[in-house]
Amino acid sequence: MADLFDQNLTKDQPLAERLRPVDFSGFYGQEAIIGPGAILRRAIEQDDIPSIIFWGPPGCGKTTLARIIARQTRSVFVQLSAVAGSVKQVREIIVQARERKKFKRQRTILFVDEIHRFSKAQQDAFLPVVEDGTLILIGATTENPSFEVISPLLSRSRVFVLKPLEPSAIAQILRSALKSDKYLQAKQFKLADGVIDYLSQMSSGDARTALNAMELTINTTKPDKNGTITIDKKTVSASLQKSHLLYDRAGEEHYNIISALHKSLRGSDANAGLYWLARMLEAGEDPLYVARRLVRFASEDIGLADPQALVQAVNAYQACHFIGLPECNVILAQAVVYLARASKSNKLYTAYQKVQKDIMELPNYPVPLHLRNAPTSLMKDLNYGKDYKYNPDYDEDVVQDYLPEELLGRQYLEDQ
């Protein structure tokens, strides 16, 4: 196993870095895109890769795949982090790539980690050199490239989606680490039953989280009187803390989870609603953001089917504003359960959509004369407000029109 990894790395580097495989024999997970016979696997082995965008969550193997490419390609491989990289560095790399191609007939592969951190203007710099083949670009991103990578660059690249690693793959990676890493092997430790399976499940598909939690646990657990370090679920759990909660307040997972909450409430599933609420709050989401979404839901999906839903949601927002986290979590839970159990109606929502459509597609019809405001004598002389029937003056139902003549008979709101 030891030859699957770079044994020249030092113990000062994190275990996840030391355990990056040097070829496919040590790479676990993502078989759908790099398994034997897969198109990406063939392209890498034939050293004939196109420009690529790797999209996937943290710890799923994006950088590791790039490192495997670096070891297998005959091209010059250059790595750049968009977090620390500058436009000047990009320009220098492009100049060197052009000279390399012109004078040595050698290709350049540029790996840009966190490519979504580059602005749209910075990404534009890659277009001409990717277009003419001067540079093969490999970008890695945790964000949806449809939103974070410019369309012209996407059209010139192949997007490969990497999924969160399955627990079985993470378990393989952990076992490899325990057998292969010389620094861990130098320690005297034993694992309680189920520790690897527990850590594999709780790391949410992130191999880096699992490896670093394992290393931290081994390094910080006191040995017994015989000098043996015992690793159990309790010690591993303390090392994980909140790191296994996959949630990015500015990224796609943020919108995925609020969408799941909204749809769970629409489906009247209070248990699922509580789960998605807790996923956000425990990961540090602003409770007022959640409360605002609940206020919207109360009218959009419940409306007049239960007018108290809006009262509950607004009160929850105000209460969260007063006391904040962590005390307001139960307040939001109350609102979520109420909204899930309430009768549902989207008639207000669809009615307003119909109105919007008419306003956008039809002329701005004038207000009928009898409905117009008449504060001056001139306006009264022009028949503003003439023949308007003041409803409280009548005991019987008043018959008069309130829409423009061109829209008479329009029914926006269906009967409740």
Domain boundaries, the chain: 30-161, 167-240, 252-341, 354-407
- Alpha-carbon distance 405 to 347, whole Å? 24
Predicted local confidence at residue 4, as pLDDT:
47
Point out the least confidently predicted range of 11-25, 144-158, 229-243, 370-384: 229-243
Predicted local confidence at residue 134, as pLDDT:
87
Predicted local confidence at residue 326, as pLDDT:
82
In terms of pLDDT, which residue wins out, 344 or 142? 344
Predicted local confidence at residue 293, as pLDDT:
95
Which is it for the CA torsion 336, 342, 348, 353, positive or negative? positive
Predicted local confidence at residue 247, as pLDDT:
57
Predicted local confidence at residue 170, as pLDDT:
92
Predicted local confidence at residue 294, as pLDDT:
97
Predicted local confidence at residue 292, as pLDDT:
94
Q: What's the whole-number mean pLDDT along residues 201-228?
A: 86
Judge whether 33 and 162 are in contact, CB under 8 Å: yes
Say whether pLDDT at 329 is over 90. yes
Predicted local confidence at residue 1, as pLDDT:
34
Say whether pLDDT at 12 is over 80. no
Predicted local confidence at residue 249, as pLDDT:
57
Predicted local confidence at residue 2, as pLDDT:
38
Say whether pLDDT at 262 is over 90. yes
Predicted local confidence at residue 304, as pLDDT:
93
The answer regarding whether domain 30-161 maps to CATH 3.40.50.300 reads: yes
Point out the least confidently predicted range of 28-37, 107-116, 243-252: 243-252
Q: 341: pLDDT confidence band, cut at 50, 70 and 90?
A: very high
Q: What's the whole-number mean pLDDT along residues 317-346?
A: 93
Q: Domain 167-240: which CATH class?
A: mainly alpha
Q: What's the whole-number mean pLDDT along residues 374-386?
A: 90
- pLDDT digit string, tens, across residues 90-110: 889 999 999 998 888 888 999
Q: Which residues pair with 140 in a beta bridge?
A: 54, 113
Predicted local confidence at residue 242, as pLDDT:
52
How confident is the prediction for the chain on average, in pLDDT? 88
Q: How far is CA 276 from CA 249, 255, 301, in A?
A: 14, 12, 18
Say whether pLDDT at 416 is over 80. no
Predicted local confidence at residue 11, as pLDDT:
65
- pLDDT digit string, tens, across residues 142-194: 888 988 899 999 999 999 999 989 999 999 999 888 888 777 777 788 888 88
Q: Write out the H or E segment, with its range, that includes residue 111.
A: strand 108-113
Predicted local confidence at residue 248, as pLDDT:
58
Tell me, which fold does domain 252-341 have in CATH?
Answer: Zinc Finger, Delta Prime; domain 3 (1.20.272)
In terms of pLDDT, which residue wins out, 416 or 281? 281
Q: What is the DSSP string of 128-173?
A: HHHHTTSEEEEEEESS-HHHHS-HHHHHTSEEEEPPPPPHHHHHHH
